[in-house]
Amino acid sequence: MKFGILVNEGPYQHQASDTAYQFCKAVLAKGWQVQRVFFYHDGVNNATKLTEPPQDDRNIVQRWSRLAEEHDIDLVVCVAAALRRGIREDNLAPGFRISGLGQLVESGIQADRLVVFGD
């Protein structure tokens, strides 16, 4: 089964990105597929490599990057939402790419389930 994921909130401020990450790990643990994770609204802030959390806290951005690398997951940041919030190619963390909202709609069409995480 293929899951599309939508993350609508930024890291640390809301639990949405944490829950989405744990959900993705559980999907993979079952041998199912994460078709794409799409970041929208303030969710685009999950993609900046400039994030530096305190040492004793989880690194939400790196966690996504690692998940993408280990499981070949497509992490897509909405271009319009990203530009509004100062997220650009040159501050993108590894594994993320910037593209259009069409990628979210495509996820809704192609994935068996689309699950939304937000505020």
Partner 1 sequence: MLHIINKSPLERSALDSCLRTAGGGAILLIEDAVYAATRGHAAAARIEEALARFAVYALTPDLAARGVADRLIDGVTPVDYGGFVELVAEHPASHSWL
Partner 2 sequence: MSNVKKFVFVNRKAPYGTIYALEALEVVLITAAFDQDVSLVFMDDGVYQLKRGQQTQAIENKNFSPVYRALEGYDVEKLYVEREALAARALTEDDLLVPVTVLSSAELGALIDSQDVVLSF
Q: Looking at residues 90 to 109 of the shown chain, list those that interact with partner 1 (rule: CB under 8 A).
A: none
Tell me whether residue 19 or residue 88 sits nearer to partner 1 (CB atom).
19
Whole-angstrom Cα Rg for the chain: 13
By the 8 A CB rule, do 87 and 77 touch? Answer: yes
78 belongs to the catalytic site: yes
Instruction: By CB under 8 A, tell whether 17 contacts partner 1.
Output: no
Q: Looking at residues 58 to 87 of the shown chain, list those that interact with partner 2 (rule: CB under 8 A).
A: 80-81
| Helix residue ranges per DSSP H, 54-94 | 60-71, 79-84
Instruction: By CB under 8 A, tell whether 83 contacts partner 1.
Output: no
